[in-house]
Structure 1
Amino acid sequence: MSLLKCIAVDDEPLALKLVQTFIDQTPFLELTASCDNAVEAMELIREKQPDVVFLDINMPNLTGMELARLLQEQPGTLPKIIFTTAYNHYAIEGYKVNAVDYLLKPFSYEEFLRAANKVLLQTTEASNQSQSITADDEFIFLKVEYQWVRISLKDILYIESLKDYVKVHLDDSQKTVLSLISLKALEEKLPSAKFMRIHRSFIVCLDKINAISKNSVFIGKTEITVGEQYKEAFKTIVDKWLK
């Protein structure tokens, strides 16, 4: 089993040292970096590409919650986040940025290990899912109101972000599905060979694109702009198509 790469972030030296110690004594975790502020953490996350970040919330200049929101807007795979905080009123906000867990200070190693195991389980499940979703007739389940709805991948045209929800636009004339999940979290569930994020608010099914202009794609009559930070990656795909 490969180790999960970790970054620890906390502006309290003793709290940071505790997280470092807990990571070191956990067999499936590896500490790759640590720091005492969220601004430096953002650079470390880009550089180290960790699997999980143990992130304090209350820090000066940029809070851990603000960093988590900024990461949601970045292209690429989002690290799993476990918040560490002395305050117990961040649960809802943590849910909105798809935090795996949040540890209330002071926390024990048992509580730490329980949160780390959640990351391990999610990472294993995501790996298994990405290996299994290859055929056109595969599917995902999304929570819609009070039930889980099965959606065939071959029916998805594009996916639109609506704050805390996503709207999945389907091949079936004007049919959409609304689910409480972030675009980033859904992006990680989809096979990258078939789906691509081309804008902070849109993921498209590459097979359903029927026209391309300089800065946009067209799926049926819908025009979707390619965001600036996604242009280079999308151009690589287009160049392959046009060879």
Structure 2
Amino acid sequence: MTLSCIAVDDEPLALGLVCAFIEQTPFLKLAGRYSSAIEALRGLHEQAVDLIFLDIQMPDLNGIELARVLDRSGANTGPRIIFTTAFNQYAIEGYKVDALDYLLKPFGYDEFLRAANKARSYAERFQQPTIPLALPAKEEPEEEYLFLKVEYQLVRVAFKDILYIEGLKDYVKVYVQGNKNPILTLTSLKALEEKLPARRFMRIHRSFIVSLEQVKAITKNSVQIGDITITVSDQYKDAFSQFLSRWTS
């Protein structure tokens, strides 16, 4: 049995070592290497893997948080996790998220192989096909949503539910249907704009992006979404005028 696996670590040397160990182990296949948990999460939506060698101490989203996001809920399908960390105080947290093993840095190939063998034994016991971390066919396709980091978790937000987005100094407020309060996430409006499909969203102000699907009414200088009217600033008037001409044709 060959196990498809990925390595996740923000330290280049540590990441390179784990990848080298994977590549020299006959029953392991390296399917990807990621320097952050958020990158790994995106990768897991594109391919199926059996095993994740996962660092814990990482910026933005740490390994424990990623394990919680994956939330296998005790199922025997989906990727298993082997934590790799220099801090032994996370052992209890590792067991809480049902990690398969816990490698304490610095570790050698013999320790790595012992953990890998445990993963192989586990996989041989259950003999179930690998299931990618992707949505079922009846749900919205992968490209129909994005993840927002809210405090210590990633929150999935469907594009169709977004009304408009307001940029503050260090944060962004995402207003969605059905939520009384906006979702507050630590990012820039520019960074979030790059993740949104241009055919569905338009930036009309230095501080605002609107969902074109949610536009209720428009004038030459403003957009109405629900009971909110947002002014189009001079910087974005040309692009908005082009949209306006298509909308009224």
Rounded to whole Å, the distance in 1 between the matches of 2:22 and 2:7 is 9
Give me the TM-score of the superposition, normalised by structure 2: 0.49
Contact kept? 2:7, 2:34, Cα under 8 Å: yes
Aligned to 2:97: 97
How far did residue 59 of structure 1 move? Answer: 0.3
| Aligned partner letter, 1:84 | T
**Most deviating of 73-82 and 117-126:** 73-82
Q: Which runs of 5+ in 1 are unaligned?
A: 132-187, 189-228, 230-243
Q: When the two structures are aligned, how many residues end up with a matched partner?
A: 130
Q: Distance in 2 between matches of 1:76 and 1:88?
A: 26
- Is the 2:5–2:53 Cα contact (8 Å) retained in structure 1? yes
Deviation at 1:81, TM superposition (A): 0.2
* Alpha-carbon separation, structure 1, partners of 2:72 and 2:118: 24
| 1:53 maps to amino acid | I
Of 85-94 and 75-84, the range deviating more from structure 2? 75-84
Asked if the contact 1:72/1:78 (under 8 Å) is kept, the reply is no
Q: Which residue of 1 aligns with 2:38?
A: 39
| Residue number in structure 2 paired with 1:4 | 3
Deviation at 1:47, TM superposition (A): 1.3
Q: Which amino acid aligns with 2:16?
A: K
Measure the CA separation in 2 of the matches of 1:24 and 1:121: 19
Deviation per CA, 1:147-205, whole angstroms, max 9, x where unpaired?
xxxxxxxxxxxxxxxxxxxxxxxxxxxxxxxxxxxxxxxxx9xxxxxxxxxxxxxxxxx
Aligned to 1:106: 106
Shift of 1:25: 0.4
Which residue is 1:219 aligned to? none
* Alignment of structure 1 residues 201-240 onto 2, 5 Å: none
How far is 1:43 from its partner? 1.1
How far the C-alpha of 1:49 sits from its partner, in A, is 1.3
CA offsets 1:98-118 (integer angstroms, 9 cap, x no match): 100010000000000000001
Q: In structure 2, what is the Cα distance between the partners aligned to 1:109 and 1:93?
A: 24
Asked if 1 retains the 8 angstrom alpha-carbon contact of 2:72 and 2:78, the reply is no
Deviation at 1:77, TM superposition (A): 3.2
Q: Distance in 2 between matches of 1:104 and 1:122?
A: 21
SS of residue paired to 2:89: coil
Please give the root-mean-square deviation of Cα atoms over the aligned residues, in Å. Answer: 2.4
| Aligned-pair CA distance for 1:78 | 2.4
Structure 2 gap segments, 5+ residues each:
132-157, 159-249
- Deviations for 1:3-46, whole angstroms, at most 9, x for unmatched residues? 10010000000000000000000000000101100001011112
Matches within 5 A, 1:120-199: 120-127=120-127
Does structure 2 conserve the Cα–Cα contact (< 8 Å) formed by 1:8 and 1:54? yes
The equivalent residue for 1:238 is: none
Aligned partners of 2:118, 2:46: CA distance in 1, in Å?
A: 24
AA aligned to 1:112 is: F
Shift, 1:73, TM fit: 5.9
Q: 2:82 maps to what in 1? A: 82
- Tell me the percent identity: 58
CA distance in structure 1 between the partners assigned to 2:72 and 2:103 by the alignment = 24
Give the whole-Å Cα distance in 2 for the aligned partners of 1:73 and 1:51. 13
Q: Conserved in 2, the CA contact under 8 Å of 1:82 and 1:102? A: yes
